Amino acid sequence: MLRTVFSPALQSSLRSASASTRQSVRGYASAPSSGSSTSNLPLLLGGAGVAGLGAWVLMGGNANGVPSASDAKAAAGKAAAAVPGVGGAASALNKDEWREFKLKEVVPYNHDSATFVFELPPGTDSGLSTASAVLFKGADSSPVKDKDGKPVIRPYTPVSTPATQGHMDFLIKKYQGGAMTSHVHGLKPGDSLSIKGPIPKFPYKANEFEEIGMIAGGSGITPMWQVMQDIANNASDKTRVTLVYTNKTESDILLREKFDALAAKDPRFKIVYGLDKLPSNFKGFQGYITPEIISQHLPAPGKADKVKVFVCGPPPQVESISGGKGPKGSQGELKGLLADAGYQESQVYKF
Ligand SMILES: Cc1cc2nc3c(=O)[nH]c(=O)nc-3n(C[C@H](O)[C@H](O)[C@H](O)COP(=O)(O)OP(=O)(O)OC[C@H]3O[C@@H](n4cnc5c(N)ncnc54)[C@H](O)[C@@H]3O)c2cc1C
């Protein structure tokens, strides 16, 4: 029973609006938390992207992620009408307000990751588009706060497709001492979590590119999987994808069974794994991504607007591949290995 999913918008928004605490938002795990949510905002912006956060602010968030009273009124008006999701069903999520979703199931994945299946009301889907993410916050009954008492907010990308009805699944890697992941990994079926979205990211369009190169590290894989599923589920999309996915060890590789199955049956997809240290009989490369890996596996930059390269992973990896994201969620200057290899800024998107 989804007691709180459709709680009245005004009540929810006013509750947010009255929160005097600023919220602690972060992007990727390897960027340490700071004590100030104001200084953390760029990190969320970094994760969500300009369009995403721009939209998020327009949709009712302000610099602290707290809707104003007038936003709350507007949200109350809008909440009455359910917005159809991509599959034509009503959207369970709302970009203007936090809604609580009940955890239905936890499916262990590996030593530090599990899939968290949240219930959606019957006949609804997430309402996300490809590619977009959502924000997590502790439920009202079990808030997650940082050391200064501010609510912790983190972005996540569902691994279920946007059109999936009845549930929304997240594959989440637990970080030792991580504020949100410790909380989420401590949830039991029946517990609730507040989720808000979508946070639009790159607006993927079938056949816009001939080839897409993807470079991902660790849990930065989930936005890539969202795009790959969109392509895989659309036979008329001729886009070819090469994913270069790096991890510490073989057991850290997320969604490997999906990638291997896809690459085995669908010639549009090619997967290249990289590990810190290769076990025997493992097909992949060892160590960091090099200029040679890029020239060998990624679509050539000379193909101009026919190619795109997506990058998502821990900040040090993003920095070395493409240069980090810029202030306030901008894409930032293209630097690193991709710039050295001759790619143009317009050819690269950093999630
Ligand atoms: C668009 C987007 C989509 C994402 N999707 C997913 C997804 O689908 N699945 C997923 O698992 N992740 C995803 N992430 C990453 C996610 O948002 C979080 O960054 C991640 O889960 C860690 O959050 P946390 O609160 O648990 O860790 P944090 O509390 O942020 O800490 C992470 C690590 O840093 C350490 N740390 C914290 N503070 C400090 C400090 N001051 N000094 C030194 N070390 C410190 C902690 O000990 C911990 O090991 C996504 C990120 C983005 C930007």
Question: 313: Cβ below 6 Å to ligand 1?
Answer: no
Within-domain flag for 205: no
Burial category of 180 from C-beta neighbours within 10 Å (exposed 0-12, middle 13-18, buried 19 and up): buried
**Cα of 11 to ligand 1 centre, how many Å?**
30
**133 and 164 inside one domain:** yes
Q: What is the dihedral of CA 56, 122, 83, 94, to 10 degrees?
A: -20
From 168, 200, 232, the end of a domain falls on 200
**232 and 332 inside one domain:** yes
* CATH number, domain containing residue 149: 2.40.30.10
**216 and 149 inside one domain:** no
**164 and 243 inside one domain:** no
Within 13 Å, how many C-alpha atoms sit on residue 323's CB side? 18
Cα separation, 73 vs 348, whole angstroms? 39
Within-domain flag for 247: yes
Any binding-site annotation on 164? no
From 200, 229, 244, the end of a domain falls on 200
Within-domain flag for 1: no
**187 and 254 inside one domain:** no
Distance of CA 120 to the CA centre of its chain: 19
Question: 197: Cβ below 6 Å to ligand 1?
Answer: no
What is the residue range of 217's domain? 211-350
Within-domain flag for 338: yes
**53 and 136 inside one domain:** yes
Which residues lie closer than 8 Å to 308 by C-beta, 6 or more apart? 208, 209, 211, 212, 213, 347, 348, 349
**225 and 124 inside one domain:** no
8 A C-beta contact, residue 312 and residue 220: yes
Residue of 26, 113, 258 to test ligand 1 pocket, by largest number of atoms within 8 Å of CB: 26
Within-domain flag for 25: yes
**130 and 171 inside one domain:** yes
What is the residue-level pLDDT of the chain in tens, covering all 351 positions?
333 333 333 233 323 333 323 455 545 433 333 333 322 223 333 333 323 333 322 222 322 333 333 333 333 333 333 445 556 789 999 999 999 999 999 999 999 999 999 999 999 999 999 999 999 999 999 999 999 999 999 999 999 999 999 999 999 999 999 999 999 999 999 999 999 999 999 999 999 999 999 999 999 999 999 999 999 999 999 999 999 999 999 999 999 999 999 999 999 999 999 999 999 999 999 999 999 999 999 999 999 999 999 999 999 999 999 999 999 889 999 999 999 999 999 999 999
Question: 181: Cβ below 6 Å to ligand 1?
Answer: yes
Any binding-site annotation on 22? no
Within-domain flag for 4: no
As for how many domains the chain has, the answer is 2
8 A C-beta contact, residue 162 and residue 254: no
For the CA of 201, the closest atom of ligand 1 is 1
* CATH number, domain containing residue 237: 3.40.50.80
Cα separation, 45 vs 49, whole angstroms? 5
